[in-house]
Structures are given as C-alpha cells and as structure tokens.
C-alpha cells in the first residue's frame, strides 16, 4: 500500500514493533486527554486563504538561531530510537541532514553524541535532562559541544516522570541489548527492571527535582551553546524564560506524556508568543501531522515546529527512508498550503490567514476598491 500521509506510518509501526515498544512511543499520560487534544485543537483552526496572488515561486527557507534551514519543520528529541530500528538515531540524523533541517538528539538516545556526529554534516541540537550529579551534566554538555552540536534544548517539564499507564502495565524497560549510550561509561546507561515502569524508576533515581530557573543561568556558564527552554506552556513562564537568558522557547507538553489536562500546544502557543514580545523565537511541538498544522503554528507566531512520533513510527516502518519520506511529505503539504493560502514566503504567513475559536468576530471591513 502506498503511503500518502504521515499518520499512516503509525499503523505499520504498531504491526512491526513489540507491544512494549509501540506503547512506549504511542502513549500519553493517564487518561490521554491531552494526547487527543494535541491533534483535535489543530482541527478547530480554519484558514482564511487569499486568492489571485502569484504563487509560482514559494520560499520555505528560514533561519533558526543563525542557522539556515530548508523549511521550518525540524526533528524533536525522541528517546531510544534503536528500539524502533537497528540504525536508530543514525538513520534519523542522516534523514534530517538530507532534508536540510535540524535534528534534536535525546539525552536518552541509544546512540551517543559522538556517534551521531560521525554520520556526517548536519545541524544538530541536544536535548538535556539535568541529572542529580551535575558533573555528569557538565561532561555531557561539553561532549555535545565538542561533537559540533549547536544548541541545548533543556527539558523543564519533567522533575518526575508522568504516569504512563501502558508502561506500568508492560513493565517497560530498555531492551537488554541496548543502552542509553550517552551515559554508558558512567554506569547510568542501563535501566533496571521495576515493578512498575523501569523508566519512571530511573527518572526518580537520577533526574534532579530541584531544577529551577537559576539552573538555566548556571547552564549558560558552562556552555557557549544557546539554550532553548522546552516545556513552556504559559505566558508567565515565557516572560521568566526571556529574563533568564533563554535563546528560545519550545512550547511543548512533552507529547502529552507528563501532566494530563494541560491544553494542546497549539492552543497555548499564542499566549507564549505574546508574552515574549518578539524578543526570542518560539517553537512548537506536539500533534503536528500535516503541512496544514505547520502553517497554523506559524500563523499563530511560531518560528518553526518539531515532529516527534512521526519520526519514530516511520523509522520503525522503513528506517532512514521512512524518516526522509515523512519530512518530504510534510514539506510538500506545507508548500501546497502556502500556495493555496496566497503566501510566497514565511514572512507572508500572518494571523489573518487563520481563524480560531477564541477570535472575536471580525468587524465588517469597508469594501476596498480592487487593486489590480
């Protein structure tokens, strides 16, 4: 069967993967309300396309933290990709590089920062969890910087792991033939069997619950890499992030895997964008499955988006070729959405190109004389 959209990879991944692995990638926290809402909220935003504009040339390129990329569609950090496919993060890195976009490597990758760097050129960010042992953190940040990574995406929504009930039922643990490669030499690479979720026990033992805004400033003293704060969903925290010296914000609810009943990221985006007052770029992850979703996020003020689950599902289905195809399909859909909305470059995508349920009714505008 020919795959014609990103979502179709999920069913193939479900067939191919062991239940424990598929459930780990697919599930959300508790009732999974936010997991559904991350998708459903996009469906409540509608287009106001402009017509009779010359759209023979469409430019999707953009610059993120000074790096020019082919499109505002990037790869989010997802853990333990070798559970999906033997090539894991290597395949994802090559696919992102081929697409001319950014890959974010997870702290909990099954390939190390050095291994991913060895796949060849590419702009890569490193997602960081802050461990109780700060020496481990310093060492890891330095290794990422030495390996040529360009930014840190600091995850700030995980002082404890969210309650993911399928992981508890499945007694989720990292398969014995894999390790968390970045921590292998530090005796932190293995995950013990637990009588609930092995990952939840690992987080409880290793991740620092005291993490606070002062640590965002501390990180700036140990690295020259810009720091993106990943996991902001309120205007209040967006303002503090700016004051704390963050280079950018990723509006994220951790793929709906942490606190259930938080809003969809697309619903929280505009509040965060307004709070930053244009001082730092704001990105979004969570629920993006179509080029139309990318356009909606940009219309609400995002500088770009990150995709997570579509990467691991396509990786499970077809390896590197699957990830390449996902990035290409989203690119093609986004380009078509731009053309059909009358936008020739990213600057032309405005708030007026969409309508949301929280918009006040538009006053009827005076009838303009036609400009021909």
Burial call 11-46: b when 16+ CB within 10 Å, e when fewer: ebbbeebeebbbbbbbbbbbebebbebbbebbeebe
**Among 124, 254, 296, 353, which one carries the catalytic annotation?**
254
The three-state secondary structure class of 75 is: strand
Q: Are 309 and 345 in contact (CB under 8 A)?
A: no
Annotated binding residue 344: no
Annotated binding residue 309: yes
Annotated binding residue 230: yes
Annotated binding residue 164: yes
Annotated binding residue 274: no
Residue 38 φ/ψ, nearest 5 degrees: -55, -35
Contacts of 151 (CB under 8 A, 6+ apart): 65, 125, 126, 225, 226, 227, 228, 247
Annotated binding residue 285: yes
Query: Could you tell me if residue 125 is left (phi over 0), alpha (psi between -120 and 50 degrees) or otherwise beta?
Result: beta
260 token code pair: 């259930």
Q: Are 306 and 283 in contact (CB under 8 A)?
A: yes
113 token code pair: 């920062």
Distance of CA 139 to the CA centre of its chain: 24
Annotated binding residue 24: yes
- Other CB atoms within 10 Å distance of the CB of residue 207: 18
325 token code pair: 């195809």
Across the chain, how many H-helices and E-strands are there? 13, 12
Burial call 210-225: b when 16+ CB within 10 Å, e when fewer: ebebebbeebbeebeb
**What angle do the packed helices 134-146 and 213-222 form, to 10 degrees?**
50
The DSSP element (H or E) to which 240 belongs, if any, is helix 235-243
Annotated catalytic residue 353 = no
Annotated binding residue 362: no
316 token code pair: 């499970």
Handedness of CA 321, 322, 327, 333 (dihedral sign): positive
Binding residues: 24, 77-79, 106, 127, 129, 155, 164, 230, 252, 254, 257, 285-289, 308-309
Please report, in range form, the residues annotated as the binding site for FMN. 77-79, 106, 127, 155, 230, 252, 285-289, 308-309
- Residues labelled as active-site residues: 254
């Amino acid at each position: 069967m020919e795959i014609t959209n990103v979502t179709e990879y999920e069913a193939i991944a479900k067939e191919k993967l062991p239940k424990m692995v598929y459930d780990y990638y697919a599930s959300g926290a508790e009732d999974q309300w936010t997991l559904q809402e991350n998708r459903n909220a996009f469906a409540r935003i509608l287009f106001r396309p402009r017509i009779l504009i010359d759209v023979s040339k469409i430019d999707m390129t953009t610059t993120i933290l000074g790096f020019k990329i082919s499109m505002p569609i990037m790869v989010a950090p997802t853990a333990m990709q070798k559970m999906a496919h033997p090539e894991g993060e290597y395949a994802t890195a090559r696919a992102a590089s081929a697409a001319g976009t950014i890959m974010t490597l997870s702290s909990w990758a099954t390939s190390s920062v050095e291994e991913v760097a060895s796949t060849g050129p590419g702009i890569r960010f490193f997602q960081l969890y802050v461990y109780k042992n700060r020496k481990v953190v310093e060492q890891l940040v330095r290794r990422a910087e030495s390996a040529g990574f360009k930014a840190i995406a600091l995850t700030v929504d995980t002082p404890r792991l969210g309650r993911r009930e399928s992981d508890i039922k499945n007694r989720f643990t990292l398969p014995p033939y894999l390790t968390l490669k970045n921590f292998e030499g530090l005796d932190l690479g293995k995950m013990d069997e637990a009588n609930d979720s092995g990952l939840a026990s690992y987080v409880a033992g290793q991740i620092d619950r005291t993490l606070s805004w002062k640590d965002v400033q501390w990180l700036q003293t140990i690295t020259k890499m810009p720091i993106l704060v990943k996991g902001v969903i309120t205007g209040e925290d967006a303002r503090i992030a700016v004051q704390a010296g963050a280079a950018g914000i990723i509006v994220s609810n951790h793929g709906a895997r942490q606190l259930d009943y938080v809003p969809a990221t697309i619903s929280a985006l505009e509040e965060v964008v307004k709070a930053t007052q244009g001082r730092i770029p704001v990105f979004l992850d969570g629920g993006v499955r179509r080029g139309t979703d990318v356009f909606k996020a940009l219309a609400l003020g995002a500088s770009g988006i990150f995709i997570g689950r579509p990467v691991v599902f396509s990786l499970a289905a077809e390896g590197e070729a699957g990830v390449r195809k996902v990035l290409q399909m989203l690119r093609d859909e986004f380009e078509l959405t731009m053309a059909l909305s009358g936008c020739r470059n990213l600057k032309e995508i405005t708030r007026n190109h969409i309508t949301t349920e929280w918009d006040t009714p538009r006053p009827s505008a005076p009838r303009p004389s036609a400009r021909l």
